[in-house]
Amino acid sequence: MVGFVRPEGTARQLEARRRRAVSLLKRGHSYQTVARIVQSSISSLVRWMQAFRRKGRAGLKPRPTPGRPPGLKPGQKRALVALLKRGAQAAGYRTEMWTSGRVAEQIHRHWGIAYHPGHVWKMLVALGWSCQKPERRALQRNPRKIREWKRRDWPRIKKSPAIGRASGFH
């Protein structure tokens, strides 16, 4: 099955586009010309004309979007981004790492909307966020001792290829 992409615009703007297309078709313009002008497919034009013939202007009105409505409204999504930018520790977590589960908790805490963590991930990507894998380092790390170890011990224990022995690469 091939999916479709909903055209840009509000319901009112899309209705105006359908009315314009019908008006142009009624004035005698060809389907190809009108499709180019209103940037739609010919099959959409045919559907719009059929709806107009059956119900008049009411046939061109927008219908409710099927399916569950989106949880967060645009203003709430902007507020979520602001909350995320303040950091996970500011939200009460021990580390600065945001996980999908943590973000879902925050959405539920602030707006009372339940999101599955997998869906949170899709929303974050749509908002321009990306997955970041933290670099794991010991908290008690001592850079000076690491440099000394690399200089003194690593060359001694590092395996070097034996002379005359195959390296393992062909």
Q: Write out pLDDT tens, residues 53-106.
A: 999 999 999 988 777 776 899 999 999 999 999 999 999 999 888 999 999 999
Q: Please tell me what DSSP assigns to residue 64.
A: P
> Mean pLDDT score of the chain, rounded to an integer?
86
* Closest residue by Cα to residue 13 from 62, 54, 57, 64: 62
- Distance separating alpha carbons of residues 53 and 27, to the nearest angstrom: 15
| 27 phi, psi to nearest 5 deg | -80, 0
What is the model's pLDDT at position 141? 82
Residue 1 confidence (pLDDT):
43
Give residue 66's pLDDT.
77
Using the predicted structure, report yes or no on whether residue 33 has a pLDDT greater than 50.
Answer: yes
Q: Give 133 or 154, the one with higher predicted confidence.
A: 154
* Length of the chain counted residue by residue: 170
Report the amino acid identity of residue 50.
Q
Q: Which pTM value belongs to this model?
A: 0.45
DSSP reduced 3-state for 55: helix
Query: What confidence score (pLDDT) does residue 163 get?
Result: 63
* Residue with tokens 């409505």, as numbered in its chain: 69
Give the span between the Cα atoms of 122 and 107, in whole angstroms. Answer: 14
H or E element: which one contains 49? helix 42-55
Asked if residue 130 has pLDDT above 90, the reply is no
Q: What is the pLDDT of residue 135?
A: 73
Structure token pair of residue 131: 């997955």
pLDDT at 168 over 60: no
The 8-class DSSP code of residue 135 comes to P
Coil, helix or strand for 62?
coil
Residue 161 has pLDDT above 70, yes or no: no
Comparing 133 with 144, the larger pLDDT belongs to 144
